[in-house]
Amino acid sequence: MKQVIRSGMAVFALLVGAASLPAQAAPKLVFINSQRVMAEAPEIQQARSALQQEMQRLEQQIAPLQTSYQTMLEQYQQQQAMMTPENRRERQQALGAKQQEIQEKAAELEQLAQGKQQELLEPALARINTVIEQLRSERGYAFVFDVAGGGVIAADPALDITDEVLRRLRALASQGS
């Protein structure tokens, strides 16, 4: 709540400061909806699809370990009543070691997935930022706010440049295809 109040006060201060300037010098304020851009931008969709395929590939690497552990656990549960205390302890240790191996592999795969996510999304995010900056520069916008960030409570829909950002991103994607 404090964040919204602070953001609102900052926007209000900008607007009050802008109101005191001559009409021709008033800064142009516009906004985008970054959630919509992230959902609809072609490069982001392609990156997410590639990431999903990579995640499936990584999950396939850990599946055999999980199956092996499950088999070991079932065998242990079926045979534990007939085991000596020493055999029971050895099997428990083997189960613990297998569980540790799975956790380590999962952590390794998670790290790989994060790296792949960054590798796939970084160029797309850079392209989005470039398009927004180009629009800001071409049209002389002083500020481009993000309504998805929660700082804007109400705004004139005519100031929304989300559609233009998406149009340009789609045009760039079709040129690259």
Residue 137 half-sphere exposure toward CB, CA atoms < 13 A: 6
Per residue of the chain (177 residues), what is the pLDDT tens digit?
A: 444 334 443 444 444 444 444 445 677 999 999 999 999 999 999 999 999 998 999 889 899 999 999 999 999 999 988 999 999 999 999 999 999 999 999 999 999 999 999 999 999 999 999 999 999 999 999 999 999 988 778 888 899 999 999 999 999 988 875
| Alpha carbons 117 and 147: distance in angstroms, whole number | 25
Residue 153, token pair as written in the block: 């409570």
Give yes or no for a contact between 159 and 31, defined as CB atoms under 8 angstroms apart. yes
Give yes or no for a contact between 124 and 70, defined as CB atoms under 8 angstroms apart. no
Residue 131, token pair as written in the block: 């398009």
Give yes or no for a contact between 151 and 13, defined as CB atoms under 8 angstroms apart. no
109 to each of 57, 98, 168, how far by Cα in Å? 10, 16, 35
pLDDT for position 163: 95
pLDDT for position 151: 77
Chain-centre distance for alpha carbon 54: 15
Residue 146, token pair as written in the block: 């993000």
CA 45-48-49 angle, to 5 degrees, is 85
pLDDT for position 24: 56
pLDDT for position 153: 81
